[in-house]
Amino acid sequence: MTDTPTLRTPLFDVHVRSGGKMVAFAGYEMPLHYADGIMREHVHTREFAGLFDVSHMGQAVLASEGGEYGPPAEALEALVPADVLNLKTGQQRYTQLLNSEGGIIDDLMIARSTSSAARGGLSLIVNASRKEQDYDYLQSNLPPGVTLVRRVDRALVALQGPAAYCVLEKACPAATELAFMQTACADIDGIPTEISRSGYTGEDGFEISVAAENAVALWDRLTADERVRPVGLGARDSLRLEAGLCLYGHDLDETTSPIEAGLSWSIQKRRRQSGGFAGADRVLRELAEGPARIRVGVKPDGKTPFRHGSTIFADESDEKQIGLITSGGFGPSVQHPVAMGYVRKDLAEVGRRHLARVRDKYLPFSIVEMPFFPHRFRR
């Protein structure tokens, strides 16, 4: 058996040059952190702006042969619970690819892009670890006349934090006019890009798609601003965890429904009423009756972080498991451990006290509201 070769993003040499500690992630060599370390990179992003290489994510276009928006939107609506048909030009939406049982194949961003590359259809951004599964699933369910095109010639970076707006204010005024979850095609100091006002840190910021050959020039232009520092995967994870955002493979998988995961807000009214998407029977039933378990915020009493896979019990004398920790770690901005997990719905109200089994010890925690750190998106 041969090992799968490790891939590199167009920014690999920049990361090495900048002292990035490179690790294998989703088939790529990616920076875990730089010289400052995870803690300082996390705090800097909250206070100023962090720049992340997310080029390992999958970028694709779903379009019709004739350039009409309706056919690709209808094709995608058969697989996701979001209202795709009513997306406005330049609007982005978060949704989930669902299987026939209502489980999540992947969570993704979709946009009715103004880019000519989108050919009047939809731009998609999918998770790196799920690219092949997503593309195969989409391809096998597309009607005649609708095509999926992988955009392998693109890089993707995320500029996140309260100073992100100021960094782009002069270099790209069009970007700073965007509201949260809006997109535009615009130049950054002469470099053509496709920009969305979005991200996965809980902070205001931008995700910027750029041709691979221009990725280094864009990275160097952005990091030339003293308010911007490169940030690796470690702080990206702690930032999204503090923001209460799901990570596929931890908080989401093919057995988990959007309702269990607390993502019902991403299902618009028309889809709740009409259904017509994969797994709709389960999703609509859980919307009406409630799921058996729900995702909750967890605050440990002590300093020991809870990790993915730790089991949850009502008390030490009851050996019946009532839940599972799916993400956990230390929250640098809140200065205590934070975690997320799934707990039986009847035992999941805020304020409930339970125990997590961590390395054969039962450690107490409280169920708390999420996010752990307030979102600061520009609404």
Q: For position 178, what pLDDT does the model report?
A: 97
Q: Whose CA is closest to 267, among 95, 104, 138? A: 95
| 342 vs 47: CA distance, rounded Å | 31
For the segment 147-201, what is each residue's pLDDT rounded down to a tens digit?
999 999 999 999 999 999 999 999 999 999 999 999 999 999 999 999 999 999 9
Tokens representing residue 360 in the block: 């054969």
Instruction: Give backbone dihedrals phi and psi of 8, rounded to 5 degrees, phi first.
Output: -130, 140
CB 159 within 8 A of CB 148: no
DSSP 64: E
Those residues with Cβ within 8 angstroms of residue 246's Cβ, 6 or more apart along the chain or in another chain: 107, 252, 261, 263, 295, 327, 340
What does each C-alpha distance from 329 to 128, 241, 289 come to in angstroms?
22, 8, 32
Tokens representing residue 221 in the block: 């232009």
For the segment 12-53, what is each residue's pLDDT rounded down to a tens digit?
999 999 999 999 999 999 999 999 999 999 999 999 999 999
How many CB atoms within 10 Å of residue 159?
Answer: 29
CB 11 within 8 A of CB 155: yes
Distance of CA 368 to the CA centre of its chain: 22
**pTM of this structure:** 0.96
What domains does the chain contain, in order, with CATH numbers? 12-54+153-242 (3.30.1360.120), 58-146 (3.30.70.1400), 264-368 (2.40.30.110)
